[in-house]
Amino acid sequence: MAILGLEQLVQDPRAQIAVVGAVLVFFLVAVFGLSSVDATKLSLQETLAAYARFVYACFLKPHSGDGTGSQQDALESFYKAQAGVYDTTRSRLLHGREDMLGLAASQLKQMSFATKPIWIDIGGGTGWNIEKMGDYLPVNDFFHAVYVVDLSTSLCEVARARFARLGWDRVKVVCQDARYFRLEDYESSLTEKSAVIKRGNVLYEADGPATKADLITISYALSMIPEFYPVIDSLAALLSHNGIIGVCDFYVQSQVDYRARNYTGGVIDRHCSFWSRAFWRTFFEVDRVNLEGARRDYLEYRFGTKLAINARNHMFGVRIPYYIWIGCSKDSPAMEGKLAELDAAATESPFLAALDLQSQKSLKRTESFENRSKAYESAIVNLAGKLPLPCFWYQNHHWRIYYDESLPKHRQFNDEYIYAFTWEDSRVDAKVLNVKSEDVILAITSAGDNILSFALERPKRIHAVDLNPSQNHLLELKVAAFTALPYVDVWKMFGEGRHENFRELLITKLSPHMSSHAFQYWLQNGPNVFGHTGLYYTGGSRHALKLVALLFKTIGMSGEVRRLCEAQTLAEQREIWARSIRRVLLSRILSWTVIGNEKWLWKALGVPPNQRNIIEHDYTSQDDAGAPQREGHAIWEYVVNTLEPVVNNTLLRDDNHYYLLCLQGRYSRRCHADYLRPSSHATLSHSYAFDGLRIHTDEINEVIARMSPGTLTIAVVMDSMDWFDPEGVEAEVQIRALNRALAPRGRVMVRSSGLRPWYIKKFEETGFQSKCVGSRVPGACIDRVNMYASCWILTKVKELSPLAKPAAGMAPLDLDRS
């Protein structure tokens, strides 16, 4: 009978649910318990005791308190039993605190203060954040005062004991509701404090009362505050105009909530699935931790966003969503002037209007207004709605111009750059263009190498343009590296393509010099790119490099490739090439099956169909004594005319870093891009080196259309015009736009896969004088890359009358190379 009763019990659905529930609870207790305790710092007995107290306090003990219903009583009910082991049991559960502190510290290091700054740690508990900050800043010497504010008396007692042990007398522990904390109650002795922030070679100063904090942090506390609206309002009042606020906490949110907002600082990994949202909300509510999206939303509404990170805490297959957010005051006394100044720099406007952007009158546009940048227009929209400005406005450097990352034209690249290095010879560019200090240059970003080469010439302005956000992320990383890192680190990252401490450098050194979008991209991808993979084996072009490396390895020719790269004379290089490597790379089978494949040309080499058609046209138009033309032969012939002269005329080891990089995946100390010379680092690491740089994530036509007429002096469009359809109107539209934006005698530099591309005639018909400054003939090099058949300089010699606006509904033009 007993056995029969047991069988019936097992078959009972309610009993099955109970068993599954018990197993799930046991699993979660085991995961959180075992993963939270830092056993390396404890004995076995201490580990077991800490584990037991943690499990009891978090999963078994009721948190009803004494029945008064107050928040302090509830917190004490939760923390009193585990206050002594709190830090030990949260070492792995509360991820991101160290990163948040590192990001905040790196921001503070960019600021200069007339008096020592003040730091308030809200919900600081045991004071762990303060001690950990000592890894980044000398806390007791750097700050005038540090306030740890928490409502739990038990945790505050642990904090007081901590700072007594450390001897940090400037740290004060305040057991108080954060809603009612006021600095003037503790800092009445100071009457005035001034903060100065560096922006390149310009200083911005703001005076304020002593009762303003320069740093506020909240670590896994905002989600535990029931009335969070008044607390966030209080923090906004406490923070100085130039202050920094850092938050780290759990969260769950759907993309429906935030996808229409342009001020959140980027959406990489922000969306949580339905199951994740439902489970974690329910799970954390047991301990009065609330993950509704309103907490983070209101935080982003009340402050401006500098940096935002969305991450997951991976523990035994469990992925807990958390975020790190660095913000600032969303309003500034100098905001109006800054808006006008930055808008003028992006559009090359000669006017710096002092506009009252908050008034309704200034929000009305008239025909007398000049063109505005998209960044300025986004600021107008946000200010009219009383919203923070897009995160790009709160950067420490205003290199990156606002763009809407949600647009399909940006999403088409799937968050991947095509080019990890630039495939244009900078030496030829410098010789042909002869850049002067008064030049205003527009150039396609690509991998940014050419932009850095132009920066070495110190022109008045450089407008880097690319439709692919990831290409501009790469340029931002390079600019930040020159701004913040010594030469040895810059060389490791971009010379060798690897750096063992990339993530640490990104957090502590590079983050203040990057936009939130670029920072998120490199935080997510950088450790892999600069770790095992290597920079130059990433991006769309990696397919070609990896195929060549695999091919040589498979047939046992890796040694020959190494000897080719190390050849000390042209004769030795030619001999190695002729005896082995040539018959592999220039194999007709390889060319026809792989290199001649249209999809391969686009995906791996960035050659679109229209550019391939130009190559085919030149080949079929050649007089080859009536020889029959075979499909795919044009590409093979083009590759032969590209590679053969390079090997015969340029020594890879000493003077051709383009192909050296392709063959060995890194530069050498002897042969590398111009921007990687030690002397280049000395130039580009100056505080003013990139003051004139503006990075546009958009089509070329969109950028040019918003510029004041006659302001550009040089436009470098690489081979992008090869991409246009000869039967379409895109080429003429762009040529006319260039004519409008260029100053008299302004120049356009183009490279082409054709000897005389079809659009040269259109330039000549549209106010330009053409000059071929390089034309490839069999057996000779046009430059060290030798990838293009011709190079042209088109000089503006005639002004055109404006064309009518394009017809409504006309598709936007995708005019960038990448």
User: Which domains does the chain show, CATH number per domain?
Assistant: 2-89 (no CATH), 97-329 (3.40.50.150), 335-394 (no CATH), 542-664 (no CATH)
Q: State whether the Cα torsion 547-553-556-559 is positive or negative.
A: positive
Indicate the helix (H) or strand (E) that contains 608.
Answer: none
* First-to-last C-alpha distance (Å) of the chain: 77
Predicted local distance difference test score (pLDDT) of residue 9? 54
Residue partners of 730: CB distance under 8 A and separation at least 6: 724, 813, 815
Residue partners of 728: CB distance under 8 A and separation at least 6: none
Query: How far is Cα 564 from Cα 573, in angstroms, rounded to an integer?
Result: 6
Predicted local distance difference test score (pLDDT) of residue 21? 61
Q: Assess contact for 790 and 775: CB atoms under 8 A.
A: yes
Predicted local distance difference test score (pLDDT) of residue 606? 56
Q: List C-alpha distances in Å: 261 to 184, 301, 360, 469.
A: 36, 10, 22, 18
- Write down the pTM of the prediction: 0.85
Spans in the chain with pLDDT lower than 70: 1-92, 189-210, 316, 332-337, 350-370, 588-607, 622-632, 802-818
Predicted local distance difference test score (pLDDT) of residue 779? 84
Structure-block tokens of residue 455: 């920066």
Q: Assess contact for 470 and 449: CB atoms under 8 A.
A: no
Query: How far is Cα 733 from Cα 720, in angstroms, rounded to an integer?
Result: 14
- How does the average pLDDT of the chain come out, rounded? 82
Residue holding tokens 């120049």? 747
Predicted local distance difference test score (pLDDT) of residue 626? 47
Closest Cα to residue 346, out of 373, 383, 324, 371?
A: 373
Q: Assess contact for 452 and 462: CB atoms under 8 A.
A: no
Predicted local distance difference test score (pLDDT) of residue 334? 58
Instruction: Tell me phi and psi for residue 244, to 5 degrees.
Output: -125, 140
